[in-house]
Every structure is written in C-alpha cells, then in structure tokens.
Structure 1
C-alpha cells in the first residue's frame, strides 16, 4: 500500500483519488474550495465537480495542506496550470523529503511561458528532479467509472517514471513510462487549443472532413513547436499526442471542444469561461502557445486563429 495525496478536488483529482483508493492505496485529497470537504462528507460524493460517484468514508477530503500531505509517498498535483505555482508553493513546506510528485496539469503558464516542469523547478526544487508528468486520453468520468484508459507518464529518469508506474498501473489504467518530459507536457497542453478549433468547426456545421483536417494539421503544429523546444517528435504519435488529441477533439465531455461549440454560437470566450466552474485549459493556453510560437519562429496557423478568436 502506498500513501497517495491528491492536491486538487476537481473532477480529475477526485477521479484519480477514487482510482487510487480502489487500488488499495491510503488516499487523501486537498481541496481549495472552503467547505467542500464537509459537503463531501455529508453527501457522500463530490457533487460540485464529480456528481454521481460515491466517495468512500475513509477517503479523506481536507482544506488543510499539512494534513493532506502527511506521510505521503506519492503526491498528485491535479490543478489547472494557472494555479500550479501557487499550489506547489503552498505545498512545498509540507512535502515529505522522499515523496515523489506527479503533475497532471495540461497547460503552459501564461505569464512566464513555462512548462509545469519549470514551475516545479522554481517552487519545489528538491522534489522537481524526480517529478513525473502524466498525460493522455483520460476523461475524469471514465476514470471514475472504472472504464479502461491508457496514459503516458514522463520523467527525466525513466526509472523514476517506472517507479510511479508501479503505483498507478492496473488493467483499468495502463501507464506507459517515457523519458520525454517536454513532449508529454506539450502534447497535453497544445491539444486543448486544437480541440477549441474542432469544436468551433463542429458548431459551424463545417463537417467531419474539416474536423479531421484540423486534427491532422493541428498535430503537425504540436510536433513543430515540440521539436523546437526539444521534444522527441515520436512522442506526438503516442498517447500524449494523437491519443489525447483524438479524445479532446471528439469527446462530448471535452471542455475545450465545448468551448469551441459555444464560440460558434456567437458567445465570446470571456463570457463562456467566466460562467464555468471547470477550466477549459485551451482558452488560457492559446495565448501562451501563440507567444511561444512567435518566440520560436514556428508557424502555427490553427493555434493562431484560436488565439485571435479567444483573445
């Protein structure tokens, strides 16, 4: 049994906590929202973010970071990229020295254009060298429903990735180890931008051929920027690239695709995002991707169009 701490009580954080508990790990969840732990305890589920999925009585939700991280062997950072720096900074003094940290955030820090690996290097420098990065096609409701899924898990040292793989891997969630930290992070972040474009194309009734073209040329954009930033181009042909891209561009549960659909109806990105409790990462990431592409001299016309529409 491993002590797993999940920082972030949104839909994906809650689903991973349920999954870790199902595997037999001692699991705790830190929640940002005041009062959410009490509501979960009273109602027996996280009605705010993942309704319909009962939470076991021994799955602890708490607003106290020290309590959530006490004795943790593996810490899953399951927060939006825009909150990664603040949450990691808050967690830093409470992280057990030997704890392994895994980020699931699929985004780029807008202000600094930093990947989450860079953010962790700044905020938890003692733990960042052994940090891992999880990405791939995995909707929260699918994980919570115990439906099969596959994900990539990257670390600078492949043996570190394999160590975390042993904790999380099962017939329900197959975890594939990688040493392409940049590629796995970029694939997870950039596909959200392309999904906004695909949702808009669907909403405008442009047809399946257009969506397929956007996905294919979008994948080329991912690879071009990834290679410019040091990623292995083959990573984008795997789970963290074409796998996650396919799900996010086509899945009805995709928040980024839904953002595109609503944009096609005439709403502005700002009013759509401000009305949602869950985060559509593609909205924020589109600005960071545009700035990165400009800085690196990489042509990304689809991503540029999404940026112009959203901002």
Structure 2
C-alpha cells in the first residue's frame, strides 16, 4: 500500500522513518520545493529533525498530487490550524475509501470541533475511514528508533486495524480505540498543561507542585472531554495521562519550553517568533478557555495559562490564585 505523509516537520519525518521499517511505498510531501530538494539530497531533515537518517526508499516531493494520488493511506501531519485546509487541498486526488490519519494535535476552532471533524467534512463522499493517532511520541526519539506506544482511534474499526498493521513494529506499539473524541481532546489539551508545567519549572517550584498540577490538569482535560461526549477512561490511557506525563516533563517538549520562556517574562508573540516550530498549546489554550467560559466548564489551570499568555498575571500571581481557590473535595463529578 502506498503511504503518503502530508507534512515534513519533525513528527511527520519521524513517522516516515518508523514506517520505512515495514513498508516500501512511501512518499513525504514538503510544501517548500527548496527544502524538499535539500532533504532529498542529504537524507536528513536538518531544520526539524537533525541527526535522524531518512531511508532512500522514502520519496520526497513538493507536488501534492504526486504525494496523494494512488495512496491507500494518507497521513496529515501539519499545524492544527491548517489541517482542514490541507484536507480540502488533497481531496481532488484522494483515492476512494483511503484511510486518512490525523497525526496533528489541537482543536479546529473555538466551537470545540476536533481536527478529524474538519477532515471528515472535507472528504465526505470519498472516504469515512478517518483515524486519529495520538500518544506520548516525541519525534526526536521515534526518529532514532527508541521504543514507544501510541493509540489509533476511529469510528470505523477496519480503519484502525489498517493503521495498526501499517505502523506496528518491535519499537512502535499501536493500541486501538473507538473513542476518537477522547483521543483527540487528550492530545490537544495536554499542551495547555505542558505550558503550565514549563512556567512552574521556570520559577523552580519543584516536583511536588508539578505532580499536583499534572494531576489536576488531567481532571480539567477529562472534564472538558466528557462534556463533549468523550469516554472518561480514555484520559487515563496513552493519549491522556501518557501524553500528559511525556509533554509536561520532557526536554523535547516545545510547549514545556514555551512555558519556561513565559516564566522569564517573554510574551506569546515573542515565544512564537523564537522558534520555527508551532507551539500548539498557546493557540489551544485560547480556544479552550473561550469554550469553557461559554459552556460553563470549570478549568482554573487553563484560565490562568490564558492570563499568563495575555500578560494579565505573572507566574507568581497565577500560582497564588490557584492555591487559594475555595475549598473542595478531590472527587467530583466530571
């Protein structure tokens, strides 16, 4: 089966390297022709995943038609805000009943729509085999073959099974789920908590505080997801707790790094301009906070992250507000 990767960032590149272990017909789309040519020649994505070798069997193209046409599996791995647009662009060449995998993490808009919903809308009538892939999977480790696990979710069981068959290897284990809502919300909301943990570490608040923040952050993530129809148990799995632990504690986490920059007084705009990678947590925090206010979902950590992003509060003020909230029981209805 031909597999097309739409997006040549770090994660897209790492997935292609992993997929090359068991698949032969692979092509990666890079929208920048000059960068595509550089990757072809050097067999390395020096901008986004330096040090990871890209096997010769992986073709590199800047032609979207060449990438998509005839592909039985198309993986979209772009920044969240362009996922739906990319689905619309590839539609003319998408094969009937192809599996479309969303490997991006984030929300589609301030209505709470998930990325897979935008893809589904754009490819309606061509395929309903839409899969969300999410979990604790840093590109820097996947690209050099370190072992990890992830979860693939879809309303179409056959689509998930195809993704398992394509991806599974001795170093990449794929679990399946029918709760695509929970898997996508977990992957999106954990980035907000990673920002908060970065701020916490940036001002040196220690392990106890980080553990408390991550635990209560998981409560917020679950509360939000369940409100929109997700299964509570999904948030205790790889796409919830697993990804939360990984992105809140790792040196590879760009959201955690952004939080540390925020603790030093950098603005959201300054942070975004300082990196060639998208800090999804900043956009997601703004979207989720707006939704939470409208839907009356209690999300105090998310609220304070938004205050930090806007510059309304500094890190110490945000901490005091969270620590002095009204007394309550730990166990509560989500």
Normalized against structure 1, the TM-score is what? 0.96
Stretches (4+) displaced over 4 A:
none
2:149 aligned counterpart, secondary structure = strand
Shift of 1:125: 1.4
1:280-299 matches, within 5 Å, as 280-299=279-298
Aligned residue for 1:38?
37
1:242-253 matches, within 5 Å, as 242-253=241-252
Aligned residue for 1:301?
300
**8 A Cα contact 2:153 2:180, kept in partner:** yes
Residue range with higher mean Cα deviation, 203-212 or 154-163: 154-163
Aligned residue for 1:140?
139
2: CA distance, partners of 1:305 / 1:104: 28
Aligned residue for 2:27?
28
Aligned residue for 2:91?
92
2: CA distance, partners of 1:161 / 1:292: 30
Structure 2, unpaired ranges of 5+: 311-334
**8 A Cα contact 2:191 2:281, kept in partner:** yes
Shift of 1:110: 3.5
1:51 aligned counterpart, secondary structure = strand
Write the deviation string for residues 188-226 of structure 1: whole angstroms up to 9, x where unpaired. 000000000001000011111111111000000011011
1:299 aligned counterpart, secondary structure = coil
Structure 1, unpaired ranges of 5+: none
Write the deviation string for residues 148-180 of structure 1: whole angstroms up to 9, x where unpaired. 100010001233212221111122111000000
**8 A Cα contact 1:110 1:287, kept in partner:** no
**8 A Cα contact 1:146 1:172, kept in partner:** yes
Write the deviation string for residues 109-140 of structure 1: whole angstroms up to 9, x where unpaired. 23553211221122211356210000000000
Q: Kindly name which structure, 1 or 2, has the bigger radius of gyration based on alpha carbons.
A: 2
Shift of 1:108: 0.5
1:147 aligned counterpart, secondary structure = coil
Write the deviation string for residues 69-113 of structure 1: whole angstroms up to 9, x where unpaired. 122111111111111022111111111113110001110123553
Aligned residue for 2:70?
71
Query: What is the aligned length?
Result: 310
1:124-139 matches, within 5 Å, as 124-127=123-126, 129-139=128-138
2:224 aligned counterpart, secondary structure = helix
Aligned residue for 2:171?
172
1:125 aligned counterpart, secondary structure = coil
1:170 aligned counterpart, secondary structure = coil
Aligned residue for 2:316?
none
1:52 aligned counterpart, secondary structure = strand
2: CA distance, partners of 1:235 / 1:247: 16
2: CA distance, partners of 1:128 / 1:97: 6
1:133 aligned counterpart, secondary structure = strand
Normalized against structure 2, the TM-score is what? 0.90
1: CA distance, partners of 2:293 / 2:125: 33
1: CA distance, partners of 2:111 / 2:48: 29
2: CA distance, partners of 1:133 / 1:127: 18
